[in-house]
């Protein structure tokens, strides 16, 4: 299977510009997202839940990034679960995490590779638009 860009750079630019319009402080999340990729899909997905109450604009940025990953993966033929979940619903959080852990290992690797590239693009665009 050949590498396809799936417009990741364009998606990342839009995500960064949207975050910048909402809250310039959210831009620093791109760097945190890139680091979080190494911990796996379930941890990346769950980060928006941690931020939901304290920092909703940052949570929205994480969630929008996740939603874009899910959409790109559909184009790649890989289904990534994306159930709507509230942080306080431990049962739903647990169920969603289980679904992510149950993804075929090859599909997980592809999703991680795509998420890594998407986050690299986010970091690049953040560096271009973030004021010093």
Q: So what's the pLDDT on residue 8?
A: 95
Does 17 reside within a domain?
yes
Domain coverage including residue 44:
8-129
Distance CA 90, CA 93 (A): 5
Does 2 reside within a domain?
no
Alpha helices in the chain (DSSP H): 8-22, 29-36, 41-51, 56-75, 90-101, 105-129
What pTM was estimated for this model as a whole?
Answer: 0.93
Does 3 reside within a domain?
no
Cα of 128 vs its chain's centroid, Å: 20
Q: So what's the pLDDT on residue 53?
A: 92
| Token pair 């809250």: residue | 23
CATH number at residue 41: 1.10.520
Per-position pLDDT tens, the chain of length 132: 566 678 999 999 999 999 999 988 899 999 999 999 999 999 999 999 999 999 999 999 999 999 999 999 999 999 999 999 999 999 999 999 999 999 999 999 999 999 999 999 999 999 998 776
Does 38 reside within a domain?
yes
Tell me how many domains the chain contains: 1
Two tokens at 22? Answer: 């909402």
């Amino acid at each position: 299977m050949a590498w396809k860009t799936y417009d990741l750079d364009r998606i990342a630019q839009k995500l960064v510009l949207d975050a910048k319009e909402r809250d310039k402080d959210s831009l620093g999340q791109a760097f945190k997202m890139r680091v979080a990729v190494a911990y796996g899909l379930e941890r990346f997905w769950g980060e928006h839940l941690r931020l939901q109450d304290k920092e909703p604009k940052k949570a929205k940025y994480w969630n929008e990034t996740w939603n874009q990953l899910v959409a790109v993966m559909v184009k790649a033929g890989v289904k990534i679960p994306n159930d709507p979940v509230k942080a306080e619903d431990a049962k739903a959080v647990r169920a969603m995490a289980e679904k992510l852990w149950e993804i075929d290992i090859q599909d997980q690797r592809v999703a991680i590779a795509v998420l890594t590239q998407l986050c690299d693009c986010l970091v690049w665009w953040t560096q271009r638009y973030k004021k010093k």
